[in-house]
Structure 1
């Protein structure tokens, strides 16, 4: 929640909304004409330009409405990143927000314009100064409420989208869990189990030779001891893949610092938690940060990196950044897809900003509560 904007701020918003009338009209007309001509393909280029233009305009109004009302107004678009042109058009056509924005344009060009224009005129007319001071915030909150009605999903739509997201997340999590179980079974079968079978055979041979050839039996016992150590190492590796011991010993902050210490380049860690997240969340965040740092070491060509870890308003937020070459595409790598799957199981999100030339910034957010146990704040360059 943020403090609602005051008279001067909302009046600047009103003036900008008046100036955006012409682009709004142009974008609205192009979308309507492009949609009508799309059946003969002539309208396709128009839509590819007009729809993003309209979304750019609505994005400005959405931010102004959020500042006026004092809280965020998420757009809730269906994702279209990386889609070819025709698939993008199909997604836009199926996205309820596209039709909401067209309806908003009609309201914005009529009722919305009247409210914004009246707010500006109240300031310009000298005799209405007092009326402007007290009335402008109320007028613009009414305008912002109208914008909110059309530019964000309704409660029912949000619930429907939430159910759809959870359905997909559950299916992905189930598949991921099944794959993890198969991996653990394979690791145990190929590693520790094979060594234990060999250990049993070696001890059996040593038992047979104990009376006839004590020296050979002693050599086999020494070999069995080495096999035991190797089997224990394999078991530790399997356990470490489930829940790293450093998490249990040092908590999430300490585990992240340990990851930073293992990097070949300097990594600044700025972490502050008043408690500990649930163990499954800690594990998911730990592996997510580990994957991000692995990508920095392998692909970024960076000279430095940084990690920020915060918890506020029941939201755990982790930022991993580097000064490398940029151009990272999370959906093209199995590692980052795995991170997305891990986070989706906890209703978490991952956002990647990686323009060509850098920097690359990965933001991870997971809603969770912290335990009462305090984790010592940490800040510094590793």
Structure 2
């Protein structure tokens, strides 16, 4: 919205925002006082339940003002909170306490009162009398603009802060990717050593003994050659398993949906696979999504006590979305086991996210989202780290 070309309707809307901000300023101040009191009481545990109620209320207040500031300024005013949807109880409060945006919200609550009584109240005072109508006409835009800039400064990170956060995220995901790649290499080495390598060594010894016996004891040599053929088939199976753990052939040949359907066939419970993955997915994204789904389905088979499960694959707003659900006992905690944390780390390497909804008694829904834009630097083949 350009101030110089603002219509009467635009000025009236800004005046309405000023009235709403003035109306919310008193409860905002009360909310700040109660927030501080609850934080003090949380030392004695008494304030913990109160904080669990006040936190979403405080964020609602901030969200309303972010929306108004975004409309006035004509730009998005993002919240940039740390995700805590999968956490519960005290764990959610710990995440919120470590979130810089939480403290910005509190600082904003302190500033909201004087800002409202200066900018917003001035707009309403100028709007009421006829004499000051001309002043209101020219002043409402600048007053609400600078008021909204103050909200933006308090309620959203600046460019430098966003870049610093981005660097921190990239550093963390890079380290996690390197750790995952090292663990994957150790797994491959162990599988080769304990499986195919041992069988091939046995095969070599069997062939050597058969060669010595072929003239003296042809029947024994024939049995040993039969045994060697069986050992070679088993070694080939071990190698196929290793290759499947690196990048399943069905994934490369038929795509993500077909690969997930193949996974579902191996589970002891019926799994319904629906939807379809977008075509032309970058190979690293496809692989990350596949192994994430594989881990989720393995968890269903091991822990959920479910009678059925389902996988829904789709795309929305440039994101590959996969929902893995089951009708089991629920209560899944992504922070308590290495499997789900491994899924989150694998997706984080591609700016992906994992959300878990698992109330007691079920159902459990695990939502996996990964950017699938082939032009994204995080989804190019060079980004693949295992």
Tell me the TM-score normalized by structure 1.
Answer: 0.76
Q: Distance in 2 between matches of 1:255 and 1:58?
A: 41
Task: State yes or no: 1:328 paired with 2:329.
Answer: no
Contact 1:62-1:147 at 8 Å conserved across structures: no
Unmatched segments (≥5 aa) in structure 1: 1-5, 372-382
Counterpart of 2:168?
164
Change (3 A) 1:23 1:267: farther
Q: Would the aligned equivalents of 1:300 and 1:325 in 2 still touch at CA under 8 Å?
A: yes
**Aligned equivalent of 2:315, options 310, 319, 322:** 310
Distance apart, 1:141 and its partner CA: 7.1
Aligned to 2:220: 216
Q: Residues 194 and 88 of structure 1: is their aligned pair in 2 closer, same or farther, counting only changes over 3 Å?
A: same
Task: Check 1:254–1:34 CA distance in 2 against 1; reply closer, same or farther (3 A cut).
Answer: closer
Q: Which range moves more in the overlay, 227-236 or 70-79? A: 70-79
Aligned to 2:33: 29
| 8 Å contact kept, 1:14–1:116 | yes
Alignment partner of 1:332: what SS? Answer: coil
User: What is the match of residue 62 of structure 2?
Assistant: 61
Instruction: Check the 8 A contact 1:300/1:322 in 2, yes or no.
Output: no
Quick one: distance in 2 between partners of 1:174 and 1:324?
34
Q: In structure 2, do the counterparts of structure 1 residues 153 and 52 end up closer, same or farther at CA, with 3 Å as the change threshold?
A: farther
For residues 78 and 230 of structure 1, do their structure 2 counterparts lie closer, same or farther at Cα, with a shift above 3 Å needed?
closer
Give, in whole Å, the separation in 1 of the partners of 2:298 and 2:93. 32
Q: How does 1:111-122 map to 2 (within 5 A)?
A: 111-112=115-116
Match of 2:79 in 1: 74
Q: TM-score scaled by structure 2?
A: 0.76
* RMSD of aligned Cα (Å): 4.1
Shift of 1:157: 1.5
CA gap of 1:210–1:266, structure 2 versus 1, over 3 A, is closer
Select which of 276, 292, 301 maps to 2:306. 301
Distance in 2 of aligned mates of 1:90 and 1:265:
37
What is the deviation of 1:304? 4.8
The residue number in structure 2 matching 1:229 is: 233
- SS at 1:330 equivalent: coil
Listed as ranges, the gaps of 5+ residues in structure 2 are: 1-8, 376-386
Distance 1:107 1:49, change over 3 A: same
In the TM superposition, residue 365 of structure 1 has moved relative to its aligned partner by 2.1
- Find the residue that maps to 2:80 and give its secondary structure: coil
Paired with 1:323 and 1:143, the residues of 2 have a C-alpha distance of 50
Report what 1:353 is aligned to. Answer: 357
CA distance in 2, matches of 1:105, 1:113: 13
Q: Which residue is 1:285 aligned to?
A: 289
Task: Name the counterpart of 2:189.
Answer: 185
Q: Note if contact 2:62-2:105 (Cα within 8 Å) is conserved in structure 1.
A: no
How far 1:290 sits from its partner (Å)? 1.8
Question: Hey, what's the Cα distance between the residues in 1 that align with 2:322 and 2:248?
Answer: 19
Residue from 95, 98, 101 that aligns with 1:97: 101
